[in-house]
Structure 1
Amino acid sequence: MNKKFDMVVIGGGITGAGIALDAATRGMEVALVEMQDFSAGTSSRSTKLVHGGLRYLKQFEVKMVAEVGKEREVVYENGPHVTTPEWMLLPLHQGGTFGKFSTNIGLRVYDFLAGVKKSERRKMLSKDETLSKEPLIKKDGLKGGGYYVEYRTDDSRLTVEVLKKAVDNGATAINYTKVENFLYDKNGMVEGVEVRNLIAGTVYPIYANTIVNATGPWVDTLRTIDGSKKGKTLQLTKGVHLVIDQSVFPLKQAIYFDTSDGRMVFAIPRDGKTYVGTTDTFYSDDLIHPSMSIEDRDYILGAIKFMFPSVSVSAADVESSWAGVRPLILEDGKDPSEISRKDEIWESESKLITIAGGKLTGYRKMAETVVNLVASRLQEKTGKTFKNCMTKSLPISGGEVGGSKGFSTYIKEVVEKGINAGLSKEDAEKIAKLYGSNAPILYELAKESIGKHEELSPVVLSRIRYAMEYEFAMTPTDILLRRTGMLLFDIDKVQEIKEAVIEYMANYYNWSDERKNILTAELEEEIQKATVPFEGNLIKN
């Protein structure tokens, strides 16, 4: 690329995508590069909640709870097709982490700090009311429950929708492109990156006035290349979630519950499945391919047995799993128990800007802070001025549906287009709920697909084509794991259609036999990783 950008963002997770969107909408010329697929790291491996961090109140992280709590609403209003309110039940047991009085006060403070709307404010439940919400929870020692709203999301789709909006506003985004070196001017200031296209193998420079390192778990890897890894560093921890069919674990209510060792775990019903997590163990292994160990699996199965004693779940009932790596910030000389969940921004002597830590929920605010800094640096360096941040009320791609209040009306209206395209009402509704204001594009793709493929239904084929033509998907794993989530929540369907998907994509992209074999093996590895634990040991404190 001969062009010089205002900013290059390294990292295509939710943080990088948010920065690219904020920068592009202010009028900056911005490029984003990601060495894997967009959202392939931590941003597709979370608990899939845009949540306010109730547990941080216990650590007196009042400012964080207030800020992140308010951001939940912003994320929801800008993309109600990828985020939805979910009432969460917090069972209160004798001797548990949360007491009835402290929970009542805590949730009241939480409502106040987070500016929770009246219809979603907390309720305190009696023992009988708690059991009526979820009869499966442990009855021994049950005193009652707290009932409050969190927001469920599809983290990977949220990331891609933010990135698509950035591209709509002029950003350049490239996946499977790895930064191998920084480029410096004669004064030692960073002025670009040397990247390798991992598909074509080509190496080329990208120049910019500012470089932002938003690579999550790889932040310190890039700081090492820059020679600026000092002071605060990352402490990586791994979180694992298990997926179990509702026929085995018929949970009807999302639960945030104590484990026997005093940790807190979520159990959430979704699409006919129940998923449970997360673990929290130190991690120093493969960043690209974290996976469930036997210990991880057994820990979560033990947590299920502890809180839901009537549910008989064994290792054989685990349909799939996912593991993610959290990049937390550790200061030199501090104890691991003091690891921060907050985000921080560092600027090196070469003027490389690094953003680390933070939570999915706070991505937009983190991006605003970074782009404010970049705007001031660019004004100093080039004299350019830019608009103020406008992402607080900017719908993301698919979010042009009239906000949360208008979404149900939008669905009713747009479903007619799907039916006219030859889809059933149920399929048309499903696409509308998943893709929001982009649904009409999928209806057209579905219409074109009717009768065209024996093994792939028009709905599935429309989602595959949309992922390739509009969402940067380059591999079967991109589609089946990240763009559709099928590998996590409908793995039997993946096994059924994987060969047809591979063939379709091979024809579309004109893959060589070698490329096709590589990507087939990659998908098989992801399926294996999601279903079979490895013989690993937890990394102890």
Structure 2
Amino acid sequence: MSHHVPSGEHDVVDLAVIGAGINGLAIARDAAARGLRVVVVDRADVGSGTSSTSSRLIHGGLKYLERYDFALVNESIRERHLLFRTAPHLVRDYPMLIPFYKGNTRPGTLIRLGLLAFDVLALNRGRGLSRTVPVRKVARRWPTLSRDGLRGAALFHDAQVPWAERLCVELFLDARRLGARVLTYTSVTGLVVEGDRVAGLRTEDVRTGESSEIRAAVTVNAAGPWIDRILDGQIESRRLNGGTKGSHVVLDPFPGAPDTCIFFEAAADGRPIFVFPWQGRYVLGSTDLTYEGDLDEVVASDAEIDYLLAETNRIFPGAGLTSGDVLWSVAGIRPLPYTAGVSDNAKISRGHTVLDHGPAYRGLLTVIGGKLTTHRALAEDVTDAALRALGRRPRPCVTRERPLPGAETSAWPEFVRDFLRDSPLDRASSRRLLQLYGVRARRVLEIAAGDPSLAEVVDKETGALAAEVVMAVREEGAVTLGDVMLRRILVGLNGDMGLDSAATCADVAVRHLGWDEDRARSEVAAYEKELRRHRPRALAEAAGGGVGGSNGSGRTA
């Protein structure tokens, strides 16, 4: 993958997209599939910003019924349905239990009505109807759930994308295959403004400092929470982003931990929060706080962690969780539209809009809002708007039917069966490869078969292979060790955030990818620095700091 603008840099592309998060990548894929010449730039790795801090849910938008946002619910249900077909390896059915307690701000009857409306909207596009669960059945099936004031529950079906990072990688792979250029580690230093037109971007290579210009007929600002920063000082614009902070914590199984996702109302503020099983561990989340701080230094605070633990302890009285149980945390900013004077952040729309800055600044579009579930629909809307801005006739969108690279098989269940039968690896390792790479799991085995040293396991907990490190860099656009660990092979999302296997993975890069020992050492150090914002317990323990990480206030969590 190139990290500078290739020769012919003064050619004008149709579309320059700022931001290689899930939305920017989806836009690039859709636009390239419709024949546009596209360049995407990001100052870091693909999917390394907000996209890597989500709740990992592909949800039909049950919460949006509270605001009667039927259009968004319908769009969310449709997109969830499409993802089951186009990315069956990454998206799975995910039942959730909603317990009703006395004193909840949303009475059980209201939630049941909401679920009925949800089922009607999801007709023929769901994974099973919601059903009411009486108190005695809740007590039998979920015996560790608090019965204090319990009035019953409802079980409904949604979807989870355990590895949202891989969803971004696959969009990137497909966009690139369709002809889009994706330039990571390339920061935007300014817009090229010529009179009433935006004619492209000025960029700088983050690693070499080399400056370039990308001329584009249309520029799309898809920088998520950073959209205002891109426009600031460049063009006249009102504030567009009003992102709220969402934090999650990751824990090992705890006493009374449920085997189903529990979606309940927090006692402290009435916010709906989740306790959900994820890859043999549990995620608690999330908060929804107004945030005016540094967008590049978003860290889960002690107060947020305490809130999530206290609410979980309340609903699972036997849990007894303390901050010492937190393996790591993740915090990000939702790219929501700026809404002045809002008293409840839950009321801010989760939909997306495409703002055309013309006629004052023709050729510039800004994407406001957007969420993981609806990335494809957002991209379709942006490409439609780009074609209008280009003065071109509409062209049909193909992404509704087009499978992601890991799903390119006519029959996914049969592929899984055959792969598990033929794989030389144990069943758990084979299943992990299928979950991460889909049909491209075969490519991992091919690389491993070509060199016995690449069949070695680089991470004990996950069973990840050296071949995956090589594939990440050679074929999937990874540049740094962090790109490999946190956004390709995902051993950085295990219990110790991959601290135990970082040096082993760097060594694979020395032996097979041309890194020297100095580069390997500096990559491991940079990786540990990148992990600090997750406050991993393992890093604090390694530093002799006991449990939790310092949050800059001088005390450890």
Report whether the alignment pairs 1:191 with 2:202: no
Aligned partner of 2:250: which letter?
V
For residues 19-49 of structure 1, the C-alpha deviation after alignment (integer angstroms, 9 at most, x for no partner) is 1111011111111111111111110100000
Of 440, 443, 451, 2:445 maps to 443
Is the alpha carbon distance of 1:248 and 1:514 closer, same or farther for their aligned partners in structure 2, counting shifts above 3 Å? farther
Report whether the alignment pairs 1:50 with 2:54: no
Corresponding residue for residue 428 of structure 1: 430
> Aligned partners of 1:521, 1:285: CA distance in 2, in Å?
26
Report whether the alignment pairs 1:328 with 2:336: yes
For residues 207-264 of structure 1, the C-alpha deviation after alignment (integer angstroms, 9 at most, x for no partner) is 111000000011001121432321x521122111111111556321111111112111
Answer whether contact 2:53 2:331 (CA < 8 A) is retained.
yes
For residues 339-393 of structure 1, the C-alpha deviation after alignment (integer angstroms, 9 at most, x for no partner) is 3322122122212100011221111111111110111221x2xxx5463111111
Corresponding residue for residue 365 of structure 2: 353
Report whether the alignment pairs 1:240 with 2:242: no
Corresponding residue for residue 159 of structure 1: 168
For residues 513-537 of structure 1, the C-alpha deviation after alignment (integer angstroms, 9 at most, x for no partner) is 6654543232112333322444479
Aligned partner of 2:502: which letter?
K
Residue 260 of structure 1: SS of its match in structure 2? Answer: coil
Answer whether contact 1:401 1:436 (CA < 8 A) is retained.
no
The answer for unaligned runs of 5 or more in structure 1 is none
1:335 is displaced (CA, Å) by 5.5
Is the alpha carbon distance of 1:482 and 1:416 closer, same or farther for their aligned partners in structure 2, counting shifts above 3 Å? same
Residue 158 of structure 2: SS of its match in structure 1? Answer: strand
Corresponding residue for residue 400 of structure 1: 408
Is the alpha carbon distance of 1:437 and 1:323 closer, same or farther for their aligned partners in structure 2, counting shifts above 3 Å? same
Is the alpha carbon distance of 1:509 and 1:284 closer, same or farther for their aligned partners in structure 2, counting shifts above 3 Å? farther
> Aligned partners of 2:551, 2:495: CA distance in 1, in Å?
25
Residue 256 of structure 1: SS of its match in structure 2? Answer: strand
Corresponding residue for residue 545 of structure 2: none
Corresponding residue for residue 174 of structure 1: 183
Corresponding residue for residue 112 of structure 1: 120
For residues 308-336 of structure 1, the C-alpha deviation after alignment (integer angstroms, 9 at most, x for no partner) is 11112111111111111112112456666
Residue 233 of structure 1: SS of its match in structure 2? Answer: coil
Question: Which structure 2 residues correspond to residues 137-536 of structure 1 after superposition, within 5 A?
Answer: 137-153=145-161, 154-185=163-194, 187-230=195-238, 232-248=239-255, 250-261=257-268, 262-332=270-340, 337=345, 339-348=348-357, 349-351=360-362, 352-378=364-390, 380=391, 384-385=392-393, 387-402=395-410, 406-419=411-424, 423-451=425-453, 456=458, 459-491=464-496, 494-506=498-510, 508-511=512-515, 515-530=519-534, 531=536, 532-535=548-551
The answer for unaligned runs of 5 or more in structure 2 is 1-8, 537-547
Is the alpha carbon distance of 1:441 and 1:414 closer, same or farther for their aligned partners in structure 2, counting shifts above 3 Å? same
1:450 is displaced (CA, Å) by 3.0
> Aligned partners of 1:431, 1:513: CA distance in 2, in Å?
29
Residue 18 of structure 1: SS of its match in structure 2? Answer: helix
For residues 252-286 of structure 1, the C-alpha deviation after alignment (integer angstroms, 9 at most, x for no partner) is 11111111121111111122101110011122223
Answer whether contact 1:240 1:292 (CA < 8 A) is retained.
yes
Answer whether contact 2:354 2:385 (CA < 8 A) is retained.
no
Higher helix share: 1
Answer whether contact 2:454 2:466 (CA < 8 A) is retained.
no
For residues 188-221 of structure 1, the C-alpha deviation after alignment (integer angstroms, 9 at most, x for no partner) is 3111111111122211111111000000011001
Moved more, 521-530 or 26-35: 521-530
Is the alpha carbon distance of 1:290 and 1:334 closer, same or farther for their aligned partners in structure 2, counting shifts above 3 Å? closer
Moved more, 526-535 or 294-303: 526-535
Is the alpha carbon distance of 1:485 and 1:194 closer, same or farther for their aligned partners in structure 2, counting shifts above 3 Å? same
> Aligned partners of 2:292, 2:124: CA distance in 1, in Å?
38
> Aligned partners of 2:493, 2:104: CA distance in 1, in Å?
31
> Aligned partners of 1:524, 1:463: CA distance in 2, in Å?
20
1:112 is displaced (CA, Å) by 1.6
> Aligned partners of 2:208, 2:331: CA distance in 1, in Å?
29
1:509 is displaced (CA, Å) by 4.9
Is the alpha carbon distance of 1:477 and 1:102 closer, same or farther for their aligned partners in structure 2, counting shifts above 3 Å? same
Cα RMSD over matched residues? 2.2
Question: Which structure 2 residues correspond to residues 15-26 of structure 1 after superposition, within 5 A?
Answer: 15-26=23-34
> Aligned partners of 1:166, 1:455: CA distance in 2, in Å?
31
TM-score normalised by length of structure 2? 0.89
Residue 320 of structure 2: SS of its match in structure 1? Answer: coil
Question: Which structure 2 residues correspond to residues 21-170 of structure 1 after superposition, within 5 A?
Answer: 21-115=29-123, 117=125, 119-153=127-161, 154-170=163-179
For residues 421-442 of structure 1, the C-alpha deviation after alignment (integer angstroms, 9 at most, x for no partner) is xx23432232123211211101
> Aligned partners of 1:41, 1:54: CA distance in 2, in Å?
25
Answer whether contact 2:42 2:184 (CA < 8 A) is retained.
yes
Answer whether contact 1:258 1:307 (CA < 8 A) is retained.
no
Q: Percent identity?
A: 28
Answer whether contact 1:69 1:115 (CA < 8 A) is retained.
no
TM-score normalised by length of structure 1? 0.91
Is the alpha carbon distance of 1:508 and 1:249 closer, same or farther for their aligned partners in structure 2, counting shifts above 3 Å? farther
Residue 110 of structure 1: SS of its match in structure 2? Answer: helix
> Aligned partners of 1:286, 1:95: CA distance in 2, in Å?
37
Is the alpha carbon distance of 1:452 and 1:68 closer, same or farther for their aligned partners in structure 2, counting shifts above 3 Å? closer
Answer whether contact 1:293 1:534 (CA < 8 A) is retained.
no
1:90 is displaced (CA, Å) by 0.6
Answer whether contact 1:344 1:357 (CA < 8 A) is retained.
yes
1:56 is displaced (CA, Å) by 1.5
Is the alpha carbon distance of 1:517 and 1:86 closer, same or farther for their aligned partners in structure 2, counting shifts above 3 Å? same
> Aligned partners of 1:529, 1:211: CA distance in 2, in Å?
31
Answer whether contact 1:191 1:211 (CA < 8 A) is retained.
yes
